[in-house]
């Protein structure tokens, strides 16, 4: 199968985006750990989220869908039952790492697995601190999947200074800290996504948090809640850039999550002179949302510092595309973590950008992208995605400014995070087709 992205004359219209993936994982897990029935609206139904959902069902949690609302019958922090088989998380590092924290305090063994891509990703970053909390957890000699968790007599709280910026690691430790007598404290050098902290607070946890420190105090239980999940900003990112680099375009993305820890891309694109306006601001639970109006723009080059990276990491591939249509050389510092995502995203983007005749180079360990301006049109080519959804969608967006078309290989990976990408893009005027 191929996804063909053709030149798109202009983008117009408005759309609602599916629910935020990060929040969807957390909504399911917190609902399962609460006492009572929670109802979730606008849950993202990507493969990643559905793998988390199925894992929870395998652990004895009743979950069903009625009239586009998901009902979760929670059983408390330690109310899960042993799964009959391995718990499979597909491509989802978020689901697997968060559930590793949850399962570390259960009284039965668990074995966590994933697809080929997830099976290559580093797990030492959660195994080490969970082990310090008393978890009996191990993986392969290379600290890759499968993860095996054996019941531990005692899980204790921890004060942990994060060696790397990772919302997944932070969240895993917070889930393991639920129900413990003493406080769990996580100290961060760089602020990361705070969806877990906000979700814990919404479910009644005794928690405080700043950009540099999170403290989870003794929390005995979660209370069931109704949740409406904001539109996924990481999904919105692709259409934001598509509208900015396309001529005569104007689109409106409605009810998008605007969590301050997620919108670094929005701030960076505005610094690049992107014509972006936020309207209709409100809150859904503890999460801020709003409508995003985007118009065609002449972008200038950007600079991304090491402090920007933690909250830009997932959006860097699409920011590379935006930089390709900006004036000047964009510079990106300390982005080596890109090599440890679903694929080596830095290598994948370098290869694709080279086919676009975009010059990329390293200068004193800073990755540089030499933009060619808004009016740049390039010849078509075929690009390998390495089964990485963000690589696939980034080059699909680039294809809207191609003289003819980009053929994108293995686009099935898009379903892991944004199965509606092609249909919603087509609604806005993107000329996508599959073959």
pLDDT at residue number 165: 87
Phi, then psi, of 112 in degrees rounded to 5:
-110, 130
**Cα 50 to Cα 42: distance, rounded to the nearest angstrom:** 13
Among 291, 300, 255, 293, which Cα is nearest to 277's?
293
Domain that holds residue 96: 21-228
Whether 42 and 229 have beta carbons less than 8 Å apart is answered as yes
- For residue 94, is pLDDT > 90? yes
pLDDT at residue number 39: 98
pLDDT digits (tens, 9 = 90+) for 39-59: 999 999 999 999 999 999 999
The total number of structural domains that make up the chain: 2
Whether 261 and 192 have beta carbons less than 8 Å apart is answered as yes
- At 16, is the pLDDT very low, low, confident or very high (cuts 50, 70, 90)? very high
Among 253, 381, 235, 433, which Cα is nearest to 318's?
235
SS3 sequence of the chain = CEEEEECCCCCEEEEECCECHHHHHHHHHHHHHEEEEEEEECCCCCHHHHHHHHHHHHCCCEEEEECCEEEEEEECCCCCCCCCCCEECCCCHHHHHHHHHHHHCCCCCEEEECCCCHHHCCCHHHHHHHHHCCCEEECCCCCCCCEEEECCCCCCCCEEECCCCCHHHHHHHHHHHCCCCCCEEEECCCCCCCHHHHHHHHCCCCEEECCCEEEECCCCCEECCEEECCECHHHHHHHHHHHHHCCCCEEEEEEEECCCCCCHHHHHHHHCCCEEEEEEEEEECCEEEEEEEEECCCCECCEECCCCHHHCHHHHHHHHHHHHCCEEEEEEECCHHHHHCCCCHHHHHHHHHHHCCCEEEEECCEEEEEEECCCCCECCEEECCCCCHHHHHHHHHHHHHECCEEEEECHHHHHHCCCCHHHHHHHHCCEEEEC
314 is catalytic: yes
pLDDT at residue number 57: 98
pLDDT at residue number 341: 85
Whether 319 and 325 have beta carbons less than 8 Å apart is answered as no
pLDDT at residue number 402: 96
Same domain, residue pair 59 and 201? yes
**Which stretch of 188-192, 280-284, 325-329 has the lowest confidence by average pLDDT?**
188-192
Indicate which residue of 194, 291, 314, 388 is catalytic. 314
Same domain, residue pair 7 and 38? no
Q: How high does pLDDT run on average in the chain? A: 96
- For residue 298, is pLDDT > 90? yes
Mean pLDDT score, 278-306: 97
Is 278 a member of any domain?
Answer: no
Mean pLDDT score, 369-387: 96
pLDDT at residue number 113: 98
Is 360 a member of any domain?
Answer: yes
- For residue 354, is pLDDT > 90? yes
Whether 329 and 363 have beta carbons less than 8 Å apart is answered as no
Which residue is it, tokens 């989802």?
92
Which CATH number does the domain housing residue 305 bear? Answer: 3.65.10.10
Same domain, residue pair 203 and 345? no
Is 282 a member of any domain?
Answer: no
Same domain, residue pair 265 and 212? no
Is 251 a member of any domain?
Answer: no
Same domain, residue pair 412 and 389? yes
Is 130 a member of any domain?
Answer: yes
- For residue 342, is pLDDT > 90? no
pLDDT at residue number 310: 86
This prediction's pTM: 0.94
Is 88 a member of any domain?
Answer: yes
> What are residue 179's DSSP bridge partners?
none
Is 294 a member of any domain?
Answer: no
**Cα 315 to Cα 351: distance, rounded to the nearest angstrom:** 18
**Cα 141 to Cα 139: distance, rounded to the nearest angstrom:** 7
Q: What percent of the chain has pLDDT over 90?
A: 94
pLDDT digits (tens, 9 = 90+) for 319-328: 999 999 999 9
pLDDT at residue number 190: 87
Same domain, residue pair 141 and 176? yes
- For residue 71, is pLDDT > 90? yes
**Cα 354 to Cα 365: distance, rounded to the nearest angstrom:** 19
- For residue 131, is pLDDT > 90? yes
> Do you find a cis peptide bond into 146, omega within 30 degrees of 0?
yes
Same domain, residue pair 322 and 402? yes
């Amino acid at each position: 199968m191929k996804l063909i992205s053709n030149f798109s004359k202009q983008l117009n219209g408005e759309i609602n985006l599916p629910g935020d993936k990060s929040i969807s994982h957390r909504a399911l897990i917190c609902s399962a750990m609460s006492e009572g029935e929670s109802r979730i609206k606008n849950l993202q139904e990507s493969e990643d989220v559905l793998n988390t959902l199925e894992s929870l069902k395998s652990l004895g949690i009743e979950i069903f869908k009625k009239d586009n609302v998901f009902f979760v019958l929670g059983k408390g922090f330690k109310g899960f039952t042993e799964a009959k088989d391995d718990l499979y998380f597909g491509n989802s590092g978020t689901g697997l790492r968060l559930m590793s924290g949850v399962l570390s305090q259960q009284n039965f063994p668990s074995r966590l697995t994933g697809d080929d891509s997830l099976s290559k990703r580093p797990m030492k970053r959660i195994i080490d601190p969970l082990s310090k909390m008393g978890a009996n957890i191990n993986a392969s000699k290379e600290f890759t999947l499968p993860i095996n968790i054996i019941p531990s007599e005692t899980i204790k709280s921890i004060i942990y200074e994060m060696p790397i910026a990772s919302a997944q690691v932070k969240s895993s430790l917070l889930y393991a800290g639920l129900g413990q007598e003493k406080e769990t404290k996580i100290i961060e050098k760089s602020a990361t996504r705070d969806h877990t902290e906000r979700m814990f607070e919404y479910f009644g946890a005794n928690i405080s948090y700043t950009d540099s420190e999170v403290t989870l105090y003794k929390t005995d239980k979660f209370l069931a809640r109704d949740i409406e999940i904001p539109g996924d900003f990481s999904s919105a990112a692709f259409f934001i850039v598509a509208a900015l680099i396309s001529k005569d375009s104007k689109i409106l993305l409605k009810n998008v999550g605007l969590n301050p820890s997620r919108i670094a891309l929005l701030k960076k694109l505005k610094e690049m002179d992107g014509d972006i306006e936020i309207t209709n601001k409100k809150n859904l639970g503890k999460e801020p949302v709003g409508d995003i109006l985007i118009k065609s723009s002449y972008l200038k080059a950007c600079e991304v510092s090491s402090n920007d990276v933690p909250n830009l990491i997932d959006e860097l591939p699409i920011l590379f595309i935006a930089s390709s249509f900006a004036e000047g050389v964009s510079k990106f510092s300390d982005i080596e973590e890109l090599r440890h995502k679903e694929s080596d995203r830095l290598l994948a983007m370098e290869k694709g950008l080279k086919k676009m005749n975009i010059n990329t180079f390293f200068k004193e360990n800073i990755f540089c992208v030499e933009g060619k301006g808004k009016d740049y049109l390039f010849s078509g080519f075929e690009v390998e995605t390495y089964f990485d959804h963000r690589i696939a969608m980034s080059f699909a967006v680039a294809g809207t400014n191609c003289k003819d078309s980009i053929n994108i290989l293995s686009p099935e990976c898009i379903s892991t995070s944004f199965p509606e990408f092609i249909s919603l893009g087509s609604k806005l005027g993107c000329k996508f087709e599959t073959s």
